[in-house]
Amino acid sequence: MHSCDTFIWHGTSNGHYTVKSGYYVARNLLGKVSPALDYRAAIWSRLWGASVQPKIKFFLWRVRHNILPTKLNWQRRGIPIDDACPMCNGTESSLLHIFFTCPFSRKVWELCCPWIMDYLQGWMEEVNFWDCVLEEASQLGTLDLVAYNLLWSIWPNRNKSLHELVCKMPSALCAAAIRRVAEVVASSI
Ligand SMILES: [Zn+2]
């Protein structure tokens, strides 16, 4: 190999390797969808086909693609805005802060789904963080509680706190989420 030669990854348009592109190339080489991808696709298919309000489905889609109007995303668009978290006055550094590592959100999960805290650190090292969350929730039979209620509740509560200075307690969010899940279960019997 000549000293000027270099490796080019053909899985992406810019020649740089990413884990995601690696999945796609491997899938094509094998001529099939990997079980993990297949399973995750099934979860999103189930989310999309669930009988929940379209705005909740759209919300989850925006979460997965990190296109919610967070302070960080406003900043990325060049809009000058402080990065203070309206819930804890810390730094609203990411979606993960808003939904999981903010002390407020952490309390919500500890009250409602404490198992999530055991997985969080490992998931944060994954490229498909949201797929991991939903996959585990689905396997534990708590997809309704995690996706349609708790994630969904945390976001408008954060927005009300930011714009209207109104904030529910973590225990109130949990109680409402559990009650809604119970109502859905009761109505389907
Ligand atoms: Zn916070």
103 Cα to the center of ligand 1, angstroms: 6
What pTM does this model have? 0.76
8 Cα to the center of ligand 1, angstroms: 41
68 Cα to the center of ligand 1, angstroms: 16
| Confidence (pLDDT) at 13 | 44
102 Cα to the center of ligand 1, angstroms: 4
| Confidence (pLDDT) at 123 | 87
144 Cα to the center of ligand 1, angstroms: 24
| Confidence (pLDDT) at 156 | 94
Cβ distance 151 to 114 under 8 Å? no
d(CA 149, CA 46): 16
Domain boundaries of the chain, sorted by first residue: 1-32, 34-187
R_g of the chain computed on alpha carbons: 19
| Confidence (pLDDT) at 138 | 87
43 Cα to the center of ligand 1, angstroms: 29
**How many alpha carbons fall within 13 Å on the CB side of residue 147?**
34
Question: Each residue of 47-98: pLDDT tens digit?
Answer: 887 788 899 989 999 998 899 999 999 999 999 999 999 999 999 989 999 9
| Confidence (pLDDT) at 97 | 94
23 Cα to the center of ligand 1, angstroms: 33
pLDDT < 70 stretches in the chain: 1-39
| Confidence (pLDDT) at 69 | 93
Q: Give the distance from CA 16 to its chain's centroid.
A: 25
